[in-house]
Amino acid sequence: MAMASSFCPRIPLQFRANPLSCFSLKPQFLLQVKAFSSQEPPKDEMPARIGFLGLGIMGTPMAQNLIKAGCDVSVWNRTKSKCDPLISLGAKYKSSPEEVAASCDVTFAMLADPGSALDVACGKHGVASGMSPGKGYVDISTVDVDTSKLISSHIKTTGALFLEAPVSGSKKPAEDGQLIFLTAGDKALYETAAPLLDIMGKSRFYLGDIGNGAAMKLVVNMIMGSMMASFSEGLILSEKVGLDPSVLVQVISQGAINAPMYSMKGPSMLQSVYPTAFPLKHQQKDLRLALGLAESVSQPTPIAAAANELYKVAKSRGLSDDDFSAVIEALKVKLDQRS
Active centre residues (catalytic): 217
DSSP tag of 244: -
Q: Which amino acid is at 14?
A: Q
* Bridge partners for 204 per DSSP: 8, 181
Separation of first and last alpha carbons in the chain: 46
Measured CA distances, 329 to 95, 203, 242, 307 (Å): 40, 34, 19, 13
Pick the closest to residue 323 from 271, 263, 282, 291 (CA basis).
282
Q: Which amino acid is at 16?
A: R
Cα–Cα distance measured from residue 294 to residue 301, given in angstroms and rounded to the nearest whole number: 7
Task: Indicate the burial class of 271 (C-beta count within 10 angstroms; 0-12, 13-18, 19 or more).
Answer: exposed
For residue 158, what are the contacts with CB-CB under 8 A and spacing of at least 6? 128, 131, 132, 133, 135
| Phi, psi dihedrals of residue 215, rounded to the nearest 5° | -65, -45
CB 226 within 8 A of CB 304: yes
- Rg of the chain on CA atoms, in Å: 21
Measured CA distances, 171 to 52, 65, 67, 277, 295 (Å): 17, 13, 17, 5, 30
